[in-house]
Amino acid sequence: MLATADALGLLLDAARRVDGVERIDTLDALGRVLAADVISPLDVPPMHTSAMDGYAVRAADLAAASDAAPVALPVSQRVPAGHTAGPLAAGTAARIFTGATVPPGADAVVMQEMARASGDGSVAFAQAPEAGEWITRQGADIERGAVILPAGTQLTPQALGLAASVGCASLEVVRRVRVAIFFTGDELRMPGEPLAPGAIYNSNRFTLRALLAKLGCDVTDFGIVADRLDATRDTLRRAALEHDLILTCGGVSVGEEDHVKPAVEAEGRIAMWQIAMKPGKPLAFGAVRRGQASEPDEAYFIGLPGNPVSSFCTFLLFVRPFILRLAGVANVAPRVYAMRADFTQKKGDRRNEFLRARVNETGGLDVFPNQSSAVLTSTVWGDGLIDNPPDHAISAGEMVRFIPFSELMR
């Protein structure tokens, strides 16, 4: 069995960004991955602007201002945001508003709370401003020619705003990753169907479809495939034709009814099988040929275990970063936090454990009492996974590695 870090390294080393890019409206680009750098064609702001409502002045005109001897200046112009400002005549002030262009010649802004306007059109200042005070300089946020969003960035709401701030109406993004998914198990039924003795509802179909949707994949669901080698091979062949990745759930263990591994070996190759982790040991990785055996073109293959917690955890820890790498995302690693364990686990497992845990009111971590790979309740109850090394017992008060679900689903 491979260590989890080695297994993840193998997957990511094998992943290649999918071919194909498209240009789409920036308003529609949330969650997509940039195929090219976004380079600013302008300075932001494009001119010196006022950071406050107040008065634009020449600092030298107010050098002598004090509480004892305020200096009064006539107001020569009014500058709202979005309007052109004329040059500021020496010995005058301009009424100005937040975001408005600072008049040429002005080198400071005095906030309105520090000035006293009179009815004769003048304004008095009791303090001398420093040059540059309350002025946002041209290019203070972004300079023209700067790379503001590098290729490989997954676009967040704030990233879309940043692109829009430099006038990008459209963006070049990587096409969506195409994923084929199917499930094996004669015991599986869909909700709404009668549940015969020995049958179970296919919860994995709902969990995995939702996780793929959250990653922005184009998904083809081949449904539940009969527990037969020929049926599994046929589905693999059809799935390989137009998809980047084939994802299966169930049938990757060593039982007589587990046909996925031999089917993939017949239609392609297996590069990895079994990981030293709990839950989720039977994880398979390889590829399925497209078309004739002599053709080198392949679709990637990942086979997940059938237990619901195992499939959930292995998807988050291995499939998610693999798909993000196919999509061209540069940084696929989730953030990991050191947090206090408010529980004791007297004995570690020989495998790398991923314990479902929840943040309590004191900022520590509690674990779900039943860590079985069949207890899907733990994934809803929990806030994330504790990454516990092999053979490591946990003492209350110890700092452990915690990966929030929010990190594993972004």
This prediction has a pTM of 0.89
Would you state the pLDDT for residue 181?
A: 98
Asked if 153 and 164 count as a contact pair (C-beta separation under 8 A), the reply is: no
Which domains, ranges and CATH numbers included, belong to the chain? 4-17+176-326 (3.40.980.10), 21-42+144-174 (3.90.105.10), 49-136 (2.170.190.11), 337-408 (2.40.340.10)
Residues composing the chain:
410
Cβ neighbors of 379 (< 8 A, separation 6 or more) are: 308, 309, 312, 356
pLDDT in tens, the chain (410 residues): 899 999 999 999 999 999 999 999 999 999 999 999 999 999 999 999 999 999 999 999 999 999 999 999 999 999 999 999 999 999 999 999 999 999 999 999 999 999 999 989 999 999 999 999 999 999 999 999 999 999 999 999 999 999 999 999 999 999 999 999 999 988 999 999 999 999 999 999 999 999 999 999 999 999 999 889 999 999 999 999 999 999 999 877 655 557 899 999 999 999 988 899 999 988 999 999 997 654 459 999 999 999 999 999 999 999 999 999 999 998 999 999 999 999 999 999 999 999 999 999 999 999 999 999 999 999 999 999 999 999 999 999 999 999 999 999 98
Cα angle 63, 64, 66 (rounded to 5 degrees) comes to 115
Would you state the pLDDT for residue 255?
A: 53
Cα–Cα distance list, 369 to 48, 168, 355, 366, 399 (Å): 60, 51, 10, 9, 19
Asked if 262 and 271 count as a contact pair (C-beta separation under 8 A), the reply is: no
Find where tokens 């297994």 sit: 7
Asked if 339 and 364 count as a contact pair (C-beta separation under 8 A), the reply is: yes
Would you state the pLDDT for residue 273?
A: 85
Would you state the pLDDT for residue 253?
A: 61
**φ/ψ (deg, to 5) at 312:** -65, -50
Would you state the pLDDT for residue 349?
A: 93
